[in-house]
Structure 1
């Protein structure tokens, strides 16, 4: 079954307070890695896998992101869902989803995380199981930092176990295939930021939605804290050529 997902939402609106000591004057996705914004590396990887339309959910210093990327990048179209006030990752998703069709699954990405996931495999699992959410999972031994996921033998996600302390566990890698029907009835609330993991996830799973997970062995890096940001250049794949649109900005 061939992957057909060609649109993606990138959650890029966070304040990046934990990274401020290393990158004091930029929104977190614009933090420079190997001479280019982290977000450029992220978009490159997904464009290489067939994504042709991105909706960037932005807030803090969004004008810096828009000024760099504009309306097209690497042959892909970029739209912007701008938060007037901080909406949280959940609220940002709900705002951005308004830019996409209501009947086509889309890719959802964290703007501060790179996870080298095979899009075709994730999309195939989502299609074969008719999932509401299909999660890319990675193995970690870092206690407490990443949301643990309990998964059955048929790949169905059965429970969320945040802050697990086991020596090794499957964790949420911040890459998802989302069917818009899963967001039906939900709306961003301007005065109440919503967290994707802490607010929306428990609610959606408790509602009986079809959640499945795919363990992926690819490279993973979350630049949310300085020590991981400083090692990002050694984790991200090397692209043999920068994209023409990117070069125009320099």
Structure 2
């Protein structure tokens, strides 16, 4: 499937980084978070990407225009401009970069790439969230449900330590370190969609998470793939620090996937089904 990545937002809560580049280009381990997301999908065989650019989209375009020359050894004949690369690119991806408008909302950006996606199912996700979600199981789950869209439901990461209190509030009965899950499932992106969803998007001002997804619920056409393992967005500088610390560890959860070490047990065929509507 083609993979559509939303990469056009302002990223105001990460202004320390996004004043000079779009949030998907903020680096984790020396690579843009966008690269990590694409590397994850490519591991599962999805290597054709459509990147919906907006705010500072030229930074993303320049990155991919210069990608091979920066990541490879090459010889250049300065008189003719002939460039000979000494080795093939490690990534055999096809990347389409589309300016979907500076002010378009998430739904509007999806609608603008309709002709490029074509009349076929596609993957859709945000350009600021990392996970070890097993994309092969996600796609198989979507096909088995026969609905127009599937969203990956993830556990919200806990941001603070939690106290257990006695009934009178005078005694601490337990303490849970921050970083544990808060218990509720949230929208983690990593969608799989049928082309019918395009007809639910009215225009550039449409927010995907409101009108179209609410309509999918009403039509009983939205299912949820439960992923109770690793997921982390990068909304703030603190989130970036957390991801950097994870990347530095040998058991980095999302790197383990494309290093050939799946984080989920092979015995898990399909998560519990949660159908909206």
TM-score with structure 1 setting the length: 0.76
1:48-67 per-position Cα deviation (integer Å, ceiling 9, x unaligned): 11112100001011111011
CA distance in 2, matches of 1:213, 1:240: 21
Structure 2 distance, partners of 1:98, 1:235, is 38
Q: Identify if the C-alpha distance between structure 1 residues 174 and 197 changes in structure 2 by more than 3 Å, giving closer, same or farther.
A: same
Deviation, structure 1 residue 83: 2.3
Segments of structure 2 that go 5 or more residues without pairing to the other structure are 69-88, 160-181, 248-253, 259-277
CA contact (8 A) 1:139 1:170 kept: yes
Matched with 2:266 is: none
Query: Across the two proteins, how many residue pairs are aligned to each other?
Result: 209
Residue in structure 2 matched with residue 77 of structure 1 by the alignment: 94
Q: Give the structure 1 partner of residue 135 of structure 2.
A: 119
Query: Which position in structure 1 is the counterpart of 2:193?
Result: 178
Cα distance in 2 for residues equivalent to 1:43 and 1:66:
15
1:224 aligns with 2:235: yes
Q: Which runs of 4+ in 1 moved over 4 A?
A: none
8 Å CA contact 1:108–1:175 kept in 2: the answer is: yes
* Structure having the higher Rg: 2
Q: 1:216 to 1:86 in 2, by over 3 A?
A: same
Q: What does 1:154-193 correspond to in 2, within 5 Å? A: 168-184=183-199, 186-189=201-204, 193=205
Residue of structure 2 aligned with 1:131, choices 132, 139, 147:
147
For structure 1, which runs of at least 5 residues remain unmatched after alignment?
1-5, 144-166, 242-250
Question: 2:22·2:57 contact (CA, 8 Å) conserved in 1?
Answer: yes
CA 1:17–1:75: 2 relative to 1, 3 Å: same
Shift in Å at residue 141 of structure 1? Answer: 6.0
Q: CA RMSD in A?
A: 2.5
Matched, 1:94 2:111: yes
The match for 1:194 among 183, 206, 225 is 206
2:27 corresponds to: 32
Tell me the equivalent position of 2:57: 62
> What is aligned with 1:211?
222
CA distance in 2, matches of 1:13, 1:34: 22
Please say if residues 126 and 133 of structure 1, whose CA atoms lie closer than 8 Å, have aligned partners that are also in contact.
yes
In 1, are the aligned partners of 2:107 and 2:201 still within 8 Å (CA)?
A: no
